[in-house]
Amino acid sequence: MPIPVVPIASAVLKYGPLAAAALATVAYARARPAPVNQAAEDLMEDVDEGVAFSRAPEGQQVNGQGRYRRTVRMPNGIGFEVDASVLGRVRLRRV
């Protein structure tokens, strides 16, 4: 039986941003103040914009990094900057 993709996609496009905003609001409300790790902040600032993957010469490790940085202006003149960076590593070893 085929899956009706169009109704599902339209529901996702309609309610997805609302769900993401609700999730972000809950996450922000639950966040606790914590000290800033300056070494981690410096690493995040060194990440180039876009997505990149690299593999170690031994082939046991894959590293990934990504950054999204944009400035958004509202029609009333208020603006804000979005700066999101991600670092990741997957390591496989035979044990």
Identify the domain containing residue 48 by its residue range: 5-91
Confidence band of 1 (pLDDT split at 50, 70, 90) = low
Confidence band of 60 (pLDDT split at 50, 70, 90) = confident
Q: Which residues of 56-84 are buried (b: 16+ CB within 10 A; e: fewer)?
A: eeeeeeeeebbbeeeeeeeeeeeeeeeee
Strand partners, 70: 82
Task: Indicate the number of domains in the chain.
Answer: 1
